[in-house]
Amino acid sequence: MDRRTAPPTIEPGRKPNRIIPVPPEYQVATFTRECDLLVSDISIKASCVVVPRWDHGKITRFELYGVGTEQATVIINKWISRAHGKSKATSAWGKTPAFNNDEWYYKRIAEMEAERKQMFKEPAPRPTEDAPKLPSVRCCRQSAGE
């Protein structure tokens, strides 16, 4: 709503025609000016009075007063479904340690090195029958008595 004009007053004790709760997973941190624009837009399109209820910078529910609550409900539900598009948690997913490319690369190199070392710890492979014979070298030792 425009800050120069006071919002329409609701008589104390008057119950709202409809209350629309915002589920906790869809509660997004909202600026006051963004909320004011939303409320004025709904008030104009649906011709009803909308009162948002806040908790720590997040809208927890909307209270609707007047006759245009059906159309206001549709607009608010669309806003709730779009508000979940990008939150602080979803925009920070790339900063988590699971997506560190260097760490993945070094782990893979360590695995390859371990495989290579394990190859030398195993017994030597037996030569096949069709493998060429290597010449053997005989060493002749002379005994002291001969």
pLDDT per residue over 77-120, tens digit each?
888 888 766 556 666 665 666 556 677 788 889 999 999 999 88
Residue 49, in any domain of the structure: yes
Count of domains observed in the chain: 1
Asked if the structure places residue 101 within a domain, the reply is no
Structure tokens at 48: 């009803």
Burial of 131 (0-12, 13-18, 19+ CB in 10 A): exposed
Q: Which of 46-55, 116-125, 130-139 ranks highest by mean pLDDT? A: 46-55
The verdict on residue 125 lying in a domain is no
Cβ pair 50, 72 in contact under 8 A: yes
Q: Which position has the token pair 């009162």? A: 51
In a domain, 100, yes or no: no
Assess if residue 107 is contained within a domain.
no
Over the stretch 122-132, which tens digit does the pLDDT of each residue have? 887 787 888 78
Domain that holds residue 59: 18-86
Residue 76 lies in a domain: yes
In-domain check, residue 4: no
In a domain, 136, yes or no: no
CATH of the domain at 28: 3.30.1370
Between residues 128 and 55, the one the model is more confident about: 55
